[in-house]
């Protein structure tokens, strides 16, 4: 650089310096003039410093004005020139992508639908914007929602797309225009991308192809009045008659402090309802609503808040969730070490529940057992199961007052594996031979339980006795097992009225992963955990310390018709077997797809001892909405042991039933029906239909649109400043371009600025009396 400066100083020929789009032509005369200007600057500074009758502020202002004028002169002496690349007219293509999704029907653009902006700005023959683009470029118009496609005019748009896939649309347009000179891509949308994937790869491809994207955000960044159900959490499968506690998150703007009602509907019937007071704008409100799954089969539960006055968008006031209600009978093994009332009343509490089967094994003497509700005459004939196949056929296991010495070492390990590997539910009840008093310290069962049992403690007679007033903890109030009345408020009010129960097991410390759902308070005010649980491996383990919960049924203060005890044990045992896996399970990766999209079915398969199988033949039998069937083979994925996957395409809207079976070496694998002796096929469901994701988060998403524009070299616009779009594309430097030079020093604005500075100095001097 310095070599070129010296060359300019001692040569009559100009030397050109160029930095980016700016160029400076420097000659010897330029240096001479710059030197003179510098001398004048120095003289001006000295002159104003020597003024005695002026204020310091006046001298500073006058010096600054004189310096600015001289600096502008020096700037002109170096003859700066702006070098730009301009697109050659009618030699380049501009792709215009117009959002054709349903969210463009939202009326938040000047109280009109967003689609109206597209009709006005891109209507052929009447739009100044489209005319300005057409004068400079070859304009190709595309519509997009789930995919992109060419259209002849904006009149071809229906604004009925149920998905917005911006990345897919940009990829499609990039591929269609490959090989053509493209000056830029104009993306007109509200930015509400309904896909869960990233567009990072799309942006990398656009940058590699040097395709700038000019994004235009349509719609408001914040709606004035709107209520939205953000999310609901429901299980995929439940037992018939299950009481669901569902957490829903509601957000709103413009309705802070108002009380609304969240209703749960099943096939048009309201099966649950909960009032909620809305918090301040932007803050989410979490509401827990209780609903009953009373009808078997695939059920679509709707969670709905009634539209409020003045709402801009009402479609986001509802969410739907597909829940499969199974009308099956879950088997639970209850092993009791001695005759006692607790067993009788637990069995009585669920006798009317057709979805629970308690197979009871009660020890009456050494090697003698009472067997109740067994499936076959030979079941449990020799006592507690001695093989994993036999034990793992149950989904839940209750251990009453039975000591660890009643089991062999292998059986104790089997019980731990029942929870850890099989994924079953283990419940240990308080009693004289339970927990530490039963000698479980140091056994595999102790590892599974949520309470710490000293491994050195030996079996002993109980030394404690406590009367407990049992109440739910904060975590327990939100749990289904404590819902003993008609609703959450009634349940919370019912617990303090229940009579005391007793515990004879010594209090034990909690394990780190344990959660206390019920606490008991004794006569001295000490708090003792009454109901504790923890996840363990694939399953869960529960400890219930009271030995006489039957008091909640038989105490003199309890009315004869009271159902508190029954409700508690139904909830407890249904929770015990909830989410327990079967040897063969299958699910669609999503419960809803758009018609024509692929449905992916995944299955997991284990043998009777719950060891994963990778060499089985797994087949999915699909029943379409019209009744036609399709067989889809599922192949081992290789990603995880026991995981199989297959896909098929949804052809028509409606519910698809997918039943899955498996066999290995010619033998069927899965859960055996005790009545028929045949393997039960695993059935799951998926819906094909237009989704409502377009109406959730319905504001204009400025941040992702800005990112798309900045990462590709384009620019972001709103509906207010879109008029400058054609000229910005022309000078983006893409496609077929020509070089234009614009002399900045010769522009009229420079002369006006110079005259303005000189006049400002003169005027200021007269004002302060220094002229």
pLDDT band at 38 (very low <50, low <70, confident <90, very high): low
Task: Determine contact, residues 256/281, Cβ cutoff 8 Å.
Answer: yes
Contact predicate 242/328, CB 8 Å: no
pLDDT at 689: 87
- Lowest-confidence range among 52-56, 110-114, 373-377, 615-619? 52-56
CA gap 76, 56 in Å, rounded = 31
Q: Return all residues near 590 (Cβ < 8 A) that are at least 6 apart.
A: 599, 600, 686
The pLDDT tens digits for 561-598 are: 999 999 999 999 999 999 999 999 999 988 888 888 89
> What are the pLDDT digits (tens) for 476-494?
998 999 999 888 888 999 9
- CA distances, 205 to each of 172, 183, 209, 600 (Å): 12, 16, 6, 28
- For residue 126, is pLDDT > 90? no
Sheet-wide strand order for 242-253: 226-233, 242-253, 285-293
Residue 34's pLDDT is 59
- From residue 462, alpha-carbon distances to 356, 435, 442, 611 in Å are 32, 10, 19, 40
DSSP codes of every residue in 501-565: EEE-SPP-EEPTT-EEEEEEE-TT--EEEEEEEEEETTEEEEEE--S-TTHHHHSTTS-TT--HH
Tell whether the model's pLDDT for residue 144 goes beyond 70. yes
Give tens-digit pLDDT for 391-444: 999 999 999 999 999 999 999 999 999 999 999 999 999 999 999 999 999 999
| Domains of the chain (ranges, CATH numbers) | 2-86+741-768 (no CATH), 89-221+699-735 (3.40.50.410), 226-326 (2.60.40.10), 330-577 (3.40.50.880), 584-692 (2.60.40.1930)
The Cα–Cα gap between 449 and 541 comes to 6
| pLDDT at residue 718 in the model | 93
pLDDT for 2: 38
Average pLDDT estimate for 738-753: 72
| CA pair distance 316, 728, nearest whole angstrom | 37
Spatial strand order in the sheet of 15-19? 15-19, 22-26, 80-87, 737-743
Rounded to the nearest angstrom, the gap between the alpha carbon of residue 327 and the centroid of all alpha carbons in its chain is 30
What's residue 740's pLDDT? 63
**54-63, 120-129, 214-223: lowest mean pLDDT where?**
54-63
If one compares 759 and 717, the residue with the highest pLDDT of the two is 717
- The C-alpha angle with vertex 489 and arms to 484 and 495, in degrees rounded to 5, equals 45
pLDDT, tens digit, 9 for 90 and up, residues 286-319: 998 988 898 998 899 999 999 999 999 999 999 9
- pLDDT mean across residues, the chain: 88
Query: 4-13, 170-179, 368-377, 529-538 — which is least confidently predicted?
Result: 4-13
Q: What is the pLDDT of residues 634-691, one digit of tens each?
A: 999 999 999 999 999 998 999 999 999 999 988 888 776 666 667 777 889 999 988 8
The pair of three-digit structure tokens given for residue 9, joined into one six-digit string: 């100083």
């Amino acid at each position: 650089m310095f070599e070129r400066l010296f060359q300019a100083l001692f040569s009559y020929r100009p030397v050109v310096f160029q930095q980016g789009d700016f160029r400076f032509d420097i000659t010897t005369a330029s240096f001479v003039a710059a030197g003179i200007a510098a001398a004048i600057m120095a003289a001006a500074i000295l002159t104003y410093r020597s003024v005695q009758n002026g204020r310091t502020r006046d001298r500073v202002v006058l010096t600054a004005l004189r310096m600015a004028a001289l600096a502008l002169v020096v700037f002109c002496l170096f003859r700066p020139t702006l070098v730009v690349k301009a697109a050659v007219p009618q030699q380049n293509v501009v792709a215009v992508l117009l959002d054709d999704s349903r969210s463009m029907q939202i009326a938040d653009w000047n109280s009109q639908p967003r689609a109206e902006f597209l009709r006005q700005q891109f209507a052929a023959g009447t739009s100044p914007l489209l005319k300005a683009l057409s004068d400079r470029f070859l304009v190709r118009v595309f519509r997009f929602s789930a995919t992109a496609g060419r259209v002849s005019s904006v009149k071809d748009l229906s604004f009925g797309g149920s998905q917005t896939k911006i990345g897919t649309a940009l990829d499609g347009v990039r591929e269609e225009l490959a090989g053509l000179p493209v000056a830029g891509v104009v993306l007109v949308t509200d930015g509400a991308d309904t896909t869960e994937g990233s567009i990072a790869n799309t942006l990398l491809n656009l940058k590699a192809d040097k395709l700038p994207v000019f994004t235009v955000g349509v719609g408001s960044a914040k709606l004035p009045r709107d209520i939205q159900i953000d999310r609901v959490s429901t299980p995929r499968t439940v037992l018939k008659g299950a009481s669901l506690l569902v957490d829903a998150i509601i957000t709103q703007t413009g309705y802070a402090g108002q009380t609304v009602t969240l209703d749960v509907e099943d096939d048009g019937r309201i099966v649950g309802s909960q009032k909620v007071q809305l918090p301040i704008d932007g803050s989410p409100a979490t509401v827990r609503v209780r609903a009953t799954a009373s009808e078997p089969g695939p059920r679509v539960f709707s969670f709905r808040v009634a539209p409020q006055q003045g709402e801009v968008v009402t479609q986001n006031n509802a969410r739907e969730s597909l829940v499969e209600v199974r009308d099956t009978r879950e088997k639970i093994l209850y092993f009791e070490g001695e005759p006692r009332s607790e067993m009788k009343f637990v069995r009585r509490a669920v006798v009317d529940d057709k979805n629970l089967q308690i197979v009871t094994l009660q020890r009456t003497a050494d090697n003698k057992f009472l067997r109740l509700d067994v499936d076959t005459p030979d079941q449990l004939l020799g006592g507690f199961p001695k093989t994993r196949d036999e034990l793992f056929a149950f989904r839940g296991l209750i251990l009453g007052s039975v000591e660890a010495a009643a089991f062999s070492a292998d059986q104790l390990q089997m019980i731990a594996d029942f929870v850890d590997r099989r994924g079953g539910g283990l419940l240990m009840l308080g009693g004289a031979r339970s927990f530490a008093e039963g000698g479980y310290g140091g056994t595999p069962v102790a590892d599974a339980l949520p309470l710490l049992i000293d491994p050195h403690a030996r079996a002993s007679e109980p030394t404690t006795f406590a009367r407990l007033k049992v109440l739910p903890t904060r975590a327990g109030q939100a749990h289904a097992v404590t819902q003993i009345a008609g609703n959450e408020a009634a349940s919370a009010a019912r617990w303090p009225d229940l009579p005391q129960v007793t515990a004879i097991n010594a209090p034990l410390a909690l394990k780190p992963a344990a959660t206390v759902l019920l606490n008991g308070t004794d006569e001295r005010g000490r708090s003792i955990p009454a109901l504790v649980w923890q996840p363990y491996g694939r399953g869960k383990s529960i400890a219930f310390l009271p030995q006489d919960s039957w008091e909640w049924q038989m105490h003199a203060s309890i009315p004869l018709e009271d159902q508190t005890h029954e409700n508690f044990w139904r909830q407890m045992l249904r929770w015990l077997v909830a989410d327990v896996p079967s040897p063969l399970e299958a699910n669609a990766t999503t419960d809803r797809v758009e018609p024509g999209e692929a449905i992916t079915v995944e299955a997991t398969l284990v043998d009777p001892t719950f060891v994963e199988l990778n060499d089985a033949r797994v087949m999915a039998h699909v029943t379409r909405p019209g009744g036609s069937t399709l067989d889809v083979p599922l192949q081992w994925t290789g990603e995880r042991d026991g995981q199989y996957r297959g896909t098929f395409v949804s052809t028509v809207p409606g519910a698809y039933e997918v039943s899955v079976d498996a066999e290995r070496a010619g033998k069927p694998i899965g859960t055996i029906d005790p009545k028929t002796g045949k393997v039960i096929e695993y059935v799951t469901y998926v819906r094909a239909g237009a989704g409502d994701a377009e109406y959730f988060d319905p504001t204009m998403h400025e941040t992702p649109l800005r990112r798309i524009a900045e990462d590709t070299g384009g620019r972001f616009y709103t509906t207010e400043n879109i008029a400058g779009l054609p000229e910005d594309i022309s000078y983006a430097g893409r496609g077929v371009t020509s070089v234009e030079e614009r002399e900045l020093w010769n522009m009229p604005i420079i002369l006006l600025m110079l005259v303005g500075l000189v006049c400002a100095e003169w005027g200021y001097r007269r004002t302060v009396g220094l002229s």
